[in-house]
Amino acid sequence: MKLNNIKAAFFDMDGTIVSFTTHKISERDIAAMNKLREKGIMVFISSGREKSNIMKVLDNTLEVDGFVGMNGNLNVIGEEIVSEHFMEEEDVRFIVDAANRLGFALSLFTREGVILNKVDDKVHAVHDHVEVPIPRIASLDELDLSKIYQMNSYTTKDFDEEHLIPYMKNSVFKRWNDDFADINSIKTSKLVGINEIIHKLGIDIKDTISFGDSENDLEMIKGTGASVAMANAMPIIKEAATYITKDCDESGAAHFIENYLL
């Protein structure tokens, strides 16, 4: 059955359209997503990545109408910033202090780019896995901690639950890797960013679709009009999605687009 009402589609990147094997978007996925735009369906990237890393992966091979960046904290249509959100400074200061005391690697997403406090084995493993450059190394104490979009801790779930989560009441930890967590304000998510973008465009949420695979996609998968989980998605995402498509490495996004949207 074709979905004829869709006006905007939102795609997670890593594990959804960007392969963990090739670190690229397949030609089939690119062609299918470009055909969506030709049909009049707006295409947005919805990612935990910041803008420069999003654009590096797109590499002028895929045209998009904008993006939900940093898990909904920087939301853009074309070149226009529609909305931006910062974390509670109290939580940011706590985790920066914890990183100093406990010695774990921590990155902060700022308007000027991503800043990392140190490089260790977990940092190398995570960045090799997604083939994203290691951020610039600098002291986190010198940053404006009132203007932080999101943070990444290179820590395990058990470590977070013992040392961090109980003390950060305004933040949420989400994972796609055992040694890495996205940390965001509890008030924001990819779905918040999507709602702000479609409000600007005059599109109803029932006329949207999202594609995802991991924890930071959950609100988006639950909240858009239709949603698609990859075959490689976490069980919680598959349970919440309207549809399940093929694996990311099998161009599952393109498979769904070709059969249900074009």
Q: What is the pLDDT of residue 198?
A: 98
Give the whole-angstrom CA distance, residue 137 versus residue 217.
28
Nearest-angstrom CA–CA distance, 111 and 91: 18
Q: What's the pLDDT at 226?
A: 98
* Separation CA 182–CA 5 (nearest Å): 33
- How is domain 89-185 classified at the architecture level of CATH? 2-Layer Sandwich (3.30)
Distance CA 258, CA 53 (A): 27
Q: Give the pLDDT of the chain (262 residues) as one tens digit per residue.
A: 789 999 999 999 999 999 999 989 999 999 999 999 999 999 999 999 988 889 888 887 899 999 999 999 999 999 999 999 999 999 999 999 999 999 999 999 998 899 999 999 999 999 888 888 899 999 998 899 999 999 999 999 999 999 999 999 999 999 888 899 999 999 999 999 999 999 999 999 999 999 999 999 999 999 999 999 999 999 999 999 999 999 999 999 999 999 999 9
How high is the pLDDT of residue 131?
Answer: 80
E strand spans, the chain: 8-11, 42-46, 66-69, 74-77, 80-84, 106-110, 113-116, 136-137, 151-153, 171-177, 180-185, 208-212, 226-229, 243-244
Nearest by Cα to 2 from 226, 217, 154: 226
Query: Could you count the other beta carbons within 10 Å of the beta carbon of residue 112?
Result: 10
CB 69 within 8 A of CB 54: yes
CA atoms lying within 13 Å on the CB side of residue 8: 27
**Dihedral of CA 134/135/137/139: which sign?**
negative
Q: pTM here?
A: 0.90
Task: Provide DSSP, 140-165.
Answer: GGGS-TTS---EEE---HHHHHHHTG
**Superfamily for domain range 8-84+188-261:** HAD superfamily/HAD-like (3.40.50.1000)
Tallying the residues shown for the chain, one arrives at 262
**Residue 3, exposed/middle/buried by CB under 10 A (0-12, 13-18, 19+)?**
middle
State both tokens at 177.
């890797």
- Residue 171 has what pLDDT? 96
| Domain extents in the chain | 8-84+188-261, 89-185
- 134 DSSP 8-state letter: P
Q: Please tell me whether residue 16 adopts helix, strand or coil conformation.
A: coil
